[in-house]
C-alpha cells in the first residue's frame, strides 16, 4: 500500500499535489467538526429528482448516459442528494447557447402563471437573438410544445469570424398513472467560418476564399422516452430511443439509431438487481466511402446493504461489443464493476470502486464539440480499460455539500484535437493508443435557500500518453463556479466563471508545439420582471474581454453585451 501511495504522489507534480491535498484536508477537517453537531433528522432536506439526459461529454469523455440511481430505502443518516449542474466548458464560439441564458429563462418563467413567451434582443458584434415557446394542454394528461431559438453574430474578433445557431423543436407528453411517455423532434442549423488562418497572407474579401472557409452543420433528431414517475417502487425501468442524422455542406454525414435504458427489481429491503443497456448503430459517409459502426453495452448489477445498512455494495460485469477494428482486433470486452459506499459518520460517506467500459465517439459528437473540425476525421470508440476511484461525499451543514474523488484510469484510443497537416485552420482527430489519466475532482455546493444557489467544481488532470507527446487541447486544470440569485421573483441574477490552464497545442503543418494562455471567462446575466407580461434582460459575456484561444489559432470575441425584452402570454 505504501508503494502504491508513493507512486501516485510521484505521478503528480509536487506543487499541484500539495495545493490539492491542502484543500482536501481543510474540507475533511471541517466535516469532522461539523459531524459532531446533532442535526435534526426532520430538517428541511429536499428530495432531488435526478434528470436523465444525454451528455456531451463533458471533461474526459464520459459514458453517453448516467442512468438514474434507484433510490435506497430512507436511512436515518443519509447524505443529502444534490443535483450538480456543471457542464464542460466549450467556447470555440462565444457562447452560442449560453448556460446562463437558458437557466435564467427557466427560473424566470417558473414564477409566472403561463410559460408561453417570445424573447428578442440585440448586442454588439451585430449580435441578434430571438427565442419563443408555446405550450398547449388539451387535457390534464396530454401536453404539446413548440420551441425555437436563433443566436448569431455577423462579426467576431477577426475578419470572417461571424457565426449563427438556429433551433426549432416540438415535443409531446402523455401522463399515465405511473409513467410519462414523451416524444420530440429537433432541427438545428449552425454556420461558422474557418477563420483560424494567417490573415495577413489571405485576401479576406475574395468571394471564392470566403466560400471555401464557410461551413454549415445541420442535424435532425427524433426521440421517444418512457420514464417512470414513482421511483420508490420495487420495479424500476427507463427506456429511450434516439435517431440522429447529421451532416455538413461538404457532404460528410452520419446517421445513428440509439436505444438505451435499464430495468431493476428490489428483491428485499437490503438487496436489488439492475440491468443497464445501450445500443448504437451508426453509418458515417464522406468522399472516401461509408463506414458502418456498432456499439453495444449491457451491464447487470447486484446491490446489497451490509453492516446494519452502513455499507452499500454494488457489483456487476459490463459486457461491450464494437466493430472498430482499425487499431484493435478485439470486439468483445468484459469489465468488472464494483462500487462501495460506506457511512463513516453521520452525513459523511467514503466512496471507492472500479469501473470500465466502451465510450462512444461519433462524427456528430466531435463536430459539436469542435466545429472547426476538418473533413474525413478518423472515428474510433474509446476503450476505458479500467478506472479505480476513491473519495468522500457529505454535508458540512444542511446547506453545504461536497464530493471529492481521486481516480486513475487507463484508456485505449483517447481522442485529441490537433491543427491539421493539410490545413492548419482545420482540426484533425488523433488518438493515444494507450493513455493513463490521474484525476482529482472536488464539487462544493451551497444552497441556503431556494433564492440563492452557489456551486464550485475544480478538476486536476495528469496525462501519460504513448503515441502522442501530449494530450493536445485537453486542460490540466479546469474550474467552474456559478451563482444564481432570485430576488423576490422580481429580479434574477446569474454569474458563471470558468478557468482553464495547461492546454497544449500542436500544429502538424509546421511541427511547432504551443502552450496556450490560461483562460478566465466570466459571464453575467440579469432579468427584471416589469409585470406578468413583460420583462427585460441584459447579458454580459466574457466581461474581462480576454480574446483567449480554446483551440489554437481561434481567438474568441471580447466582451459581448446583449439586451432585450421578453413578452409572456
pLDDT at residue 172, rounded to an integer: 97
Q: Give the separation between CA 156 and CA 159, rounded to whole angstroms.
A: 7
For 194-205, what is each residue's pLDDT tens digit? 999 988 876 777
Residue 245: is its pLDDT beyond 80?
Answer: yes
pLDDT at residue 112, rounded to an integer: 54
Confidence of residue 113 (pLDDT cuts 50, 70, 90): low
Residue 266: is its pLDDT beyond 60?
Answer: yes
SS3 readout for 216-259: EEEEEEEEEEEEECCCCCCEEEEEEEEEEEEEECCCCEEEEEEE
Confidence of residue 358 (pLDDT cuts 50, 70, 90): very high
Q: How many CA atoms lie within 13 A of 493 on its CB side?
A: 8
82: enclosing H helix or E strand: none
3-state secondary structure (DSSP) of residue 433: coil
List the one residue out of 271, 401, 301 whose CA is nearest residue 349: 401
Residue 47: is its pLDDT beyond 80?
Answer: no
For 453-488, what is each residue's pLDDT tens digit? 999 999 999 999 999 999 999 999 999 999 999 999
Lowest mean pLDDT among 40-54, 237-251, 307-321, 434-448: 40-54
- Mean pLDDT across the stretch 101-109? 43
pLDDT at residue 94, rounded to an integer: 29
User: Within a 10 A sphere around the Cβ of 181, how many other Cβ atoms?
Assistant: 14
pLDDT at residue 230, rounded to an integer: 87
For 362-401, what is each residue's pLDDT tens digit? 999 999 999 999 999 999 999 999 999 999 999 999 999 9
Of the ranges 42-56, 100-114, 289-303, the best mean pLDDT one: 289-303
List the one residue out of 337, 360, 263 whose CA is nearest residue 55: 360
Lowest mean pLDDT among 56-70, 105-119, 319-333, 364-378: 56-70
Residues counted in the chain: 569
Q: Give the separation between CA 316 and CA 276, rounded to whole angstroms.
A: 11
**Higher-confidence position of 125 and 421:** 125
Residue 351: is its pLDDT beyond 80?
Answer: yes
What does the mean pLDDT of the chain come to? 84
**Which grid coordinates are listed for 27?**
474540507
- Mean pLDDT across the stretch 282-304? 95
- Mean pLDDT across the stretch 126-153? 95
What is the four-CA torsion angle of 542, 498, 81, 491, rounded to 10 degrees? -20
pLDDT at residue 99, rounded to an integer: 32
Q: Give the separation between CA 64 and CA 565, rounded to whole angstroms.
A: 37
User: Within a 10 A sphere around the Cβ of 391, how many other Cβ atoms?
Assistant: 19
Q: What percent of the chain has pLDDT over 90?
A: 73
Q: Which residues contact 2 (CB under 8 A, 6 or more apart)?
A: none
Q: Give the separation between CA 476 and CA 439, rounded to whole angstroms.
A: 9
Q: What percent of the chain has pLDDT over 70?
A: 79
Confidence of residue 73 (pLDDT cuts 50, 70, 90): very low
Q: Measured between alpha carbons, how far is residue 45 from residues 22, 198, 314 in Å? A: 30, 56, 26
Contact 402, 396 (CB under 8 A): yes
Which DSSP string do the residues of 359-421 spell out, in sequence order? E---HHHHHHH-TTB-SS-----EEEEEEEEEEEEEEEETTEEEEEEEEEEEEESEEEEEE-S
For 392-410, what is each residue's pLDDT tens digit? 999 999 999 999 999 999 9
For 297-343, what is each residue's pLDDT tens digit? 999 999 999 999 999 999 999 999 999 866 555 789 999 999 999 99
Q: Which residues contact 534 (CB under 8 A, 6 or more apart)?
A: 565, 566, 567, 568
Query: Which burial class, exposed, middle or buried, applies to 457 when counting CB atoms under 10 A from its CB (0-12, 13-18, 19+)?
Result: buried
Contact 38, 453 (CB under 8 A): no
List the one residue out of 297, 294, 258 whose CA is nearest residue 275: 297
Amino acid at each position: 500500500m505504501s508503494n502504491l501511495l508513493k507512486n501516485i504522489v510521484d505521478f503528480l507534480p509536487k506543487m499541484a499535489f500539495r495545493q490539492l491535498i491542502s484543500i482536501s484536508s481543510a474540507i475533511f477537517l471541517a466535516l469532522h467538526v461539523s459531524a459532531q453537531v446533532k442535526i435534526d433528522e426532520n430538517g428541511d432536506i429536499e428530495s432531488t429528482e435526478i434528470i436523465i439526459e444525454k451528455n456531451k461529454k463533458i471533461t474526459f469523455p464520459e459514458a453517453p448516459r448516467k442512468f438514474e440511481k434507484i433510490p435506497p430505502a430512507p436511512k436515518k443518516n443519509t447524505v443529502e442528494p444534490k443535483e450538480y449542474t456543471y457542464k464542460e466548458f466549450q467556447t470555440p464560439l462565444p457562447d452560442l447557447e449560453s448556460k446562463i441564458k437558458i437557466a435564467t429563462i427557466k427560473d424566470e418563467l417558473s414564477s409566472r402563471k403561463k410559460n408561453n413567451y417570445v424573447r428578442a434582443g440585440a448586442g454588439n458584434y451585430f449580435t441578434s437573438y430571438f427565442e419563443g415557446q408555446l405550450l398547449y394542454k388539451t387535457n390534464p394528461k396530454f401536453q404539446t410544445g413548440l420551441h425555437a431559438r436563433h443566436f448569431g453574430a455577423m462579426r467576431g474578433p477577426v475578419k470572417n469570424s461571424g457565426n449563427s445557431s438556429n433551433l426549432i423543436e416540438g415535443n409531446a407528453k402523455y401522463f399515465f398513472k405511473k409513467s410519462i411517455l414523451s416524444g420530440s423532434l429537433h432541427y438545428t442549423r449552425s454556420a461558422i467560418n474557418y477563420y483560424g488562418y494567417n490573415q495577413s497572407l489571405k485576401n479576406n474579401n475574395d468571394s471564392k476564399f470566403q466560400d471555401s472557409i464557410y461551413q454549415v452543420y445541420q442535424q435532425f433528431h427524433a426521440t421517444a422516452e418512457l420514464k417512470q414517475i414513482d421511483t420508490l417502487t420495487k420495479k424500476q425501468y427507463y427506456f429511450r430511443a434516439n435517431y440522429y442524422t447529421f451532416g455538413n455542406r461538404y457532404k460528410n454525414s452520419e446517421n445513428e439509431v440509439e436505444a438505451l435504458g435499464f430495468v431493476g427489481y428490489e428483491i428485499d429491503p437490503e438487496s436489488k438487481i439492475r440491468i443497464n443497456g445501450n445500443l448504437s448503430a451508426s453509418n458515417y459517409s464522406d468522399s472516401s466511402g461509408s463506414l458502418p459502426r456498432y456499439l453495444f453495452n449491457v451491464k447487470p448489477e447486484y446491490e446489497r446493504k451490509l453492516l446494519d445498512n452502513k455499507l452499500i455494495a454494488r457489483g456487476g460485469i459490463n459486457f461491450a461489443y464494437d466493430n472498430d477494428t482499425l487499431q484493435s482486433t478485439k470486439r468483445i470486452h468484459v469489465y468488472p464493476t464494483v462500487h462501495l459506499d460506506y457511512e463513516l459518520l453521520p452525513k459523511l460517506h467514503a466512496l471507492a470502486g472500479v469501473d470500465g467500459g466502451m465510450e462512444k465517439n461519433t462524427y456528430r459528437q466531435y463536430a459539436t464539440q469542435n466545429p472547426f473540425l476538418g473533413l474525413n476525421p478518423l472515428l474510433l470508440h474509446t476503450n476505458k480499460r479500467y478506472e479505480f476511484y476513491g473519495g468522500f461525499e457529505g454535508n458540512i451543514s444542511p446547506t453545504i455539500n461536497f464530493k471529492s474523488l481521486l481516480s486513475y484510469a487507463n484508456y485505449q484510443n483517447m481522442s485529441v484535437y490537433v491543427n491539421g497537416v493539410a490545413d492548419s485552420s482545420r482540426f484533425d482527430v488523433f488518438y493515444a493508443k494507450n493513455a493513463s489519466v490521474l484525476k482529482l475532482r472536488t464539487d462544493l455546493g451551497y444552497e441556503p435557500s431556494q433564492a440563492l444557489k452557489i456551486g464550485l467544481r475544480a478538476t486536476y488532470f495528469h496525462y501519460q500518453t504513448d503515441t502522442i507527446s501530449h494530450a493536445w487541447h485537453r486542460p490540466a486544470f479546469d474550474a467552474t463556479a456559478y451563482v444564481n440569485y432570485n430576488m423576490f421573483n422580481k429580479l434574477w441574477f446569474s454569474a458563471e466563471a470558468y478557468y482553464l490552464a495547461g492546454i497544449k497545442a500542436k500544429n502538424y503543418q509546421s511541427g511547432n508545439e504551443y502552450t496556450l494562455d490560461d483562460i478566465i471567462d466570466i459571464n453575467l446575466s440579469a432579468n427584471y420582471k416589469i409585470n406578468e407580461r413583460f420583462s427585460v434582460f441584459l447579458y454580459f459575456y466574457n466581461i474581462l474581454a480576454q480574446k483567449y484561444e480554446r483551440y489554437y489559432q481561434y481567438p474568441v470575441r471580447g466582451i459581448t453585451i446583449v439586451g432585450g425584452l421578453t413578452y409572456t402570454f
